[in-house]
Amino acid sequence: MAAAAVVNGNASSGDWEGRYYHVDQILDRPGPRTDPSFLAGDEVKDFLRTKCKILVIGAGGLGCEILANLALSGFKDIHVIDMDTIDISNLNRQFLFRPKDVGKSKAIVAAEFIMNRVPGVKVTPYFGKIQDKDEDYYMQFNLVICGLDSVEARRWINATLVNMVDPENPESLKPLIDGGTEGFKGQARVILPTVTSCYECSLDMLNKPTAFPICTIANTPRLPEHCIEWASVLEWPRVHGDKKMDTDNPEHIQWLYQVALRRAQEFKIEGVTYSLTQGVVKNIIPAIASTNAIIAASCCNEAFKIATSSAAYLNNYFMLIGTDGVYSYTFEHEKRDDCPVCGGESLDITISKEWTVDRLIEMLVERQDIQIKKPSLSTPGKQIYFQAPPQLEEATRPNLEKKVSELVPDGGEITVTATTLPFSLSLRVKYT
Amino acid sequence: MSHTESQDIEQATTSIAPSQPDDKTRRYDRQLRIWAASGQAALESSRILLVSSSATSTSILKNLVLPGIGHFSILDSTITSPADAGNNFFLNAKESIGKPRAQEAVPLLRELNESVQGEAVLKDVNELLSTDQGKDWISGFSIVIAHNLDKGTLEQLSTLLWSNPNGPPLITVRSAGFLAEFHIQYHEHCVSQSHSETAPSLRITRPFPALLEWARSLDLANMDPTTHGHIPFVVILVRLVDEWRKSHNGDLPKTAAEKKEFKNQILALKIKPDEENFDEAEAQAWRVWSEPAIPSDVQSLFSLSPLPSTSDSSAPARHTTFHALLGTLADFTKDPSGPGTLPLSATLPDMKSDTESYVKLQNLYREWAEVEKTKFKELFAKKHPELAQTANPEEVDTFVKNSHHLRVLRGKQWGAFDQNREALADALMMSPKETATHLGLSALTNLLAKDPDASNVTAETLRTEVVSIIGESVDLPEEVDAALGEIARAPTADIPNMAAFLGGLVAQEAIKMITEQYVPLNGYCIVDLVDSWTGVVG
């Protein structure tokens, strides 16, 4: 065992001689492409194993893999946040969970599993939402890795980390590594808040969510999906009133399935199944262990390289498509000057003089590079429309019918905010 | 849901009594949406052999056990070292040190999925390769995967499995620090269900009788406006192609001017500006001039040369039916009484239309697809009477259904690339970084054969090996030094992130091979985690 002699045998960390034989081959000497600033040997190992503090957001398909990789790579102080509990459908890939764990917190079970399997690693779980935590909390970490399935949560953490950057304090810049998968496809990226393109910059790269026009659903259904949407969007509220639909409740899915099936039979449409119903109403994304393993490994590899400087980190986007051979593409995604989170410049939009405020809101919801649900609008001088609180909503509601051009001059600015997003979008409006 | 609330719903749906999915379906839900029950059944009947229980090997197995393969065997006589206990998640850390590695790993892998069987075979692979019984045992698996096996053993293993066209595919994996590659050895791999995202032809320029009849019968002038605004674009295009041909000697629009004119004709039929079905017809007009009778990828399969005979037998027996169906498909397209195309696909995309027209169109496509499938089956029975009796009807149906996206891959033996200096030199020019990494890893394999503890592995000794592989006449680009330096840095390192990355990639390819769905790798997949890329050579 050639490298055994150089291993840092720190007894208190639970290490044993030879434990890091493999990783230490990387950490003991640079490669031809390694940056000269790399401090090979004890210094970098000490930082990785005793000082570096890393946050993992999500303990699901990617999160389980990320935690295991980080622990084996030598990260010793890992925190993990997840608000979800374990479901039976997680067990085909979330390999830290067993059937007996169904219903328990993902973050807590995952943390315990890692600590049992990999001695000397401390994993601190938080069973809750990322939004529960403030800047002070996020400031304690050197790195953040995200394995999330929610666009909203990613936008939130991205904007939070960008907002935290203080040019006077280099420690305030927290590298964010983000992974995502769908079936045999996935991507991993490195975001250096304010330096590289951020999550918000690339919002338009997301697949457009399939939305069916309400008139199709109501009047001219053709696909089984149309019948399912009819059941969930129109029939559920009609029959159940204010009672909220819970897509995790099998009885609710069963009800939707039966109602959708009846409608399909009425229109002679084939293909409504329980599985499709569940897929449509929960917007289920197919997921397998192998793709999650690849993307999580890629994220952890970038975290390892950033933490140790043992090799250059990804600049800044890795995309994998595994449906036809193994195809991947590594490229630099460009920063957007008019990105509402990291760009600083306002976004120019040109709209018709005739557009009402309501029409503008519709555009803000739909446009791929904006996608702001429930936006509130104001100009420097006045409120245009506010979604909340109720009194303000009521007071500004009449503006919805008004033309934007009556409220904002040509070339004027509108500030768009939403409660779910910790940033505001600045629009410069021109009229045709 | 309270009891009273649910009553009227139950009354409303009494005729339907569907049951909720069972536990197994729920567990596998997210993957069944990818490879369906047929892919799952293939996985569940598979038997996998892993030669080694390294960190990379157990990572691969983890991603095969979770989705539910039938059985795995780990062949490894290694005793767990302190280093193994540090990089392998499927060992009990320090407690496993000194115990057989494979035996320690098996229970930790099996607990991932109680429906998977697994065993540790604590023998040296060379021992098995030296007896007929051992060789038969190795050849009896669905797929064999080997990680960082020494060169001599790997050569024997690959020769054994290559010599039998009916034997299992072999995936060989080599990794060193941030660099790695893997190769799948198979003679041939046939895929009906490639899950291609390109939509099959709607046969607008070759309409079947019922579709043409509908298109011709449209009374566009006297139709009520609602119906007019809901004619499916397919029917509009078939109608206009029919009219165009009548006035153009049976030809289709060819020149740019004609195509423009054709599009204008579509839009001229609008009676209201907001008739989206006509806009859709215009947007889909390319189908009129750009859709080949037979996709070129499928056409090329009709002239595939027979597989070069490797031993006494020729093509793998498991592909006999596929090839017979492929031959029948070629005949189908040439049959003078047939459409001159592949059998019609029953899959219809969504389009602007009302329910009645859409369902009518869908039924017409389904019915005619059945007619052509029946015709195909008659041809099959005539051409291959015995096979037609014994072939699995589902296999035939799947083949016809996916005939627009068939794929046949022809593979090479592991190591053949390195015997072909011309191919290596070409690859080094076309894909320098991928080929440089491949050459570096081959050089490492050669050096480790002489010197297993890697004490003589340096950038210089690796470079000498590279030259001996590719020949002295080839100039080595700078990518070679970038790869060799990285390999010399960590020649025996099985680092956790690379192990996990390969664990995912290799398992994914194994799943594609086993399920015969999607399209697996052909050649060597190269991985560089310094610059975070993958590529394919050889």
* Each residue's pLDDT tens digit, A56-66: 999 999 999 99
- Interchain contact, B489 vs A293, CB within 8 Å: no
- Interchain contact, A251 vs B1, CB within 8 Å: yes
Q: How high is the pLDDT of residue B333?
A: 97
Q: How high is the pLDDT of residue A420?
A: 80
- Interchain contact, A69 vs B497, CB within 8 Å: yes
The answer, yes or no, to whether residue A419 has pLDDT greater than 90, is: no
The mean per-residue pLDDT over the stretch A82-109 comes to 97
Q: How high is the pLDDT of residue B309?
A: 54
Q: Is A258 on the interface with B (CB under 8 A)?
A: yes
- Interchain contact, A289 vs B33, CB within 8 Å: no
Q: Which amino acid is at A354?
A: E
Q: Which residues of A touch B531 (CB under 8 A)?
A: 33, 312, 314, 330
* Each residue's pLDDT tens digit, A133-172: 999 999 999 999 999 989 999 999 999 999 999 999 999 9
Per-residue pLDDT tens digits of chain B, which is 538 residues long: 334 344 444 444 444 445 678 899 999 999 999 999 999 999 999 999 999 999 999 999 999 999 999 999 999 999 999 999 999 999 999 999 999 999 999 999 999 999 999 999 999 999 999 999 999 999 999 999 999 999 999 999 999 999 988 899 999 999 999 999 999 999 999 999 999 988 899 999 999 999 999 999 999 989 999 999 999 999 999 999 999 999 999 999 999 999 999 999 999 999 999 999 999 999 999 999 998 899 999 999 999 987 765 444 555 677 889 999 999 999 999 999 999 999 999 999 999 999 999 999 999 999 999 999 999 999 999 999 999 999 999 999 999 999 999 999 999 999 999 999 999 999 999 999 999 999 999 999 999 999 888 999 999 999 999 999 999 999 999 999 999 999 999 999 999 999 999 999 999 999 999 999 999 999 999 999 999 999 999 9
Q: Which residues of A touch B95 (CB under 8 A)?
A: none
* Class of residue A170 by CB neighbours under 10 A (exposed 0-12, middle 13-18, buried 19+): exposed
Q: How high is the pLDDT of residue B306?
A: 78
Residue A299 annotated in active site: no
Beta bridge partners of A189: A178, A317
Cα–Cα distance, B385 to B414 (Å, whole number): 38
Catalytic residue among A198, A215, A227, A339: A215
Closest by Cα among B391, B474, B393, B403 to B432:
B474
Cα–Cα distance, A279 to A268 (Å, whole number): 21
Cα–Cα distance, B276 to A269 (Å, whole number): 22
User: pTM score > 0.90 for this model?
Assistant: yes
Helix (H, G, I), strand (E, B) or coil at B314: coil
Q: Is A324 on the interface with B (CB under 8 A)?
A: yes
A93 → chain B, closest CA residue: B66
B181 → chain A, closest CA residue: A326
- The shortest CB-CB distance from A304 to any of B27, B454, B497 is to B497
Q: Is A293 on the interface with B (CB under 8 A)?
A: yes
- C-beta atoms surrounding A334 within 10 Å: 11
Q: How high is the pLDDT of residue B316?
A: 63
Name B31's Cβ contacts closer than 8 Å, sequence gap at least 6: A92, A93, A286, A287, A288, B40, B67
Q: How high is the pLDDT of residue B315?
A: 55
Q: How high is the pLDDT of residue B18?
A: 55
Grade residue A388 by pLDDT with cuts at 50, 70 and 90: confident
Beta bridge partners of B48: B72, B143
Q: How high is the pLDDT of residue A13?
A: 56
Q: Which helix (H) or strand (E) holds A93?
A: none
Q: How high is the pLDDT of residue A373?
A: 87
Q: How high is the pLDDT of residue A314?
A: 96
B456 → chain A, closest CA residue: A2
Name A175's Cβ contacts closer than 8 Å, sequence gap at least 6: A143, A144, A190, A191, A192, A193, A303, A306, A313
* Each residue's pLDDT tens digit, A303-339: 999 999 999 999 999 999 999 999 999 999 999 999 9
* Each residue's pLDDT tens digit, A266-286: 999 999 999 999 999 999 999
- C-beta atoms surrounding B263 within 10 Å: 18
A–B interface: beta-carbon pairs under 8 A: 297
**Mutation for testing the B interface, residue in A1, A6, A8, A22 having most B CBs under 10 Å:** A22
Closest by Cα among B455, B171, B190 to B321:
B190
Q: What is the mean pLDDT of chain A?
A: 93
